[in-house]
Amino acid sequence: MQEEGLDVQTTRSADHYGALIHHLSLVRNKRCLMAYVYNRAETIRSLIWKVGPVLPQEIQEKLSHTEEDYFKKHAGTLQSYMSRLDLDVTVDMVPPKDPYIQVRVLDDIGVVLSDDKTTNFARHSMHFLKRTDAEQFISRGLMEELTG
C-alpha cells in the first residue's frame, strides 16, 4: 500500500479489513485467556486460606506448572508477611466458643509434640485440646470436632 503511495489512514483495501479482523480476534482471545488465568489464580489464592501451604494430591494434579509455581510463590509471600509481623494469621479462623475443644482423630497421626506434652494421636481416639493446636489438624481433615 505504501508503495502505491496511497494514504495509509484512509485507504480501505481488503488487506486492511483482514488485518483488522485478525487484530480484533487476537485482542479478544487475549482478554479471554487473561480472564481465565486470573480467575483460576484467584481460586488458588483462596485455597491457601482454606487448606494451608501444602496442597493435597487431588488438587495438585489439576494445576499447571505455572500455577503450582504461583501457588508456592504466594504462600511464600504470605509467610514472609507473617514472619515480618511475627504472628501467624492462618490459625484462629472461626470465632472461639471455648478455649478447649474435644476432637476425634480420623487418620493416624502418631505421636505429636505440642507445648510441653507429647500425645499419641491414634485413630478414633478422643482428645481435649487447645483450640489453636487442633485447628491445623482440623483444616487438613485429620481430626474432627465433636460438637455433640
Partner 1 sequence: MASEAGEGSTAGMDDYETLISTTDVELLKKAWRNEKAAPEILRFETSLIQRIRGQIQLMEENIEEFAGSGIDPLTVSLYQMDLDRTQYLFRSYLRIRLQKIEKYMFHISKNPEVQSRLSEQEKGFARRCADDMERHLEESVLSKLPDNYQDTVKQSIISEESDMRFSWF
Q: Residue 80: phi, psi to the nearest 5?
A: -70, -35
Residue with cell 505421636: 111
> 33 vs 146, which CB is nearer to partner 1?
33
> Is 89 one of the binding residues for partner 1 (CB under 8 A)?
yes
**Which of 4, 9, 10, 38 lies at the binding interface for partner 1 (CB under 8 A)?**
38
> 80 vs 120, which CB is nearer to partner 1?
80
Footprint on residues 69-88 left by partner 1 (CB under 8 A)? 69-70, 73-74, 77-78, 80-81, 84-85, 87-88
How far apart, in Å, are the Cα atoms of 65 and each of 31, 68, 120? 21, 5, 37
Report how far residue 64's alpha carbon sits from residue 96's, in angstroms, rounded to the nearest whole number.
37
Residue of 138, 75, 68 whose CA lies nearest to 106? 138
Footprint on residues 100-119 left by partner 1 (CB under 8 A)? none
Residues sharing a CB contact under 8 Å with residue 46, sequence separation 6 or more, in sequence order: none
**Which of 19, 21, 26, 59 lies at the binding interface for partner 1 (CB under 8 A)?**
26
Residues sharing a CB contact under 8 Å with residue 37, sequence separation 6 or more, in sequence order: none
**Which of 11, 60, 64, 114 lies at the binding interface for partner 1 (CB under 8 A)?**
64
Q: State the nearest-atom distance from the C-beta of 103 to partner 1, in Å.
A: 17
Residues sharing a CB contact under 8 Å with residue 119, sequence separation 6 or more, in sequence order: 111, 112, 127
Interaction site with partner 1 (CB under 8 A): 23, 26-27, 30-31, 33-35, 37-38, 41, 45, 49, 64, 66-67, 69-70, 73-74, 77-78, 80-81, 84-85, 87-89, 91-92, 95-96, 98-99, 131
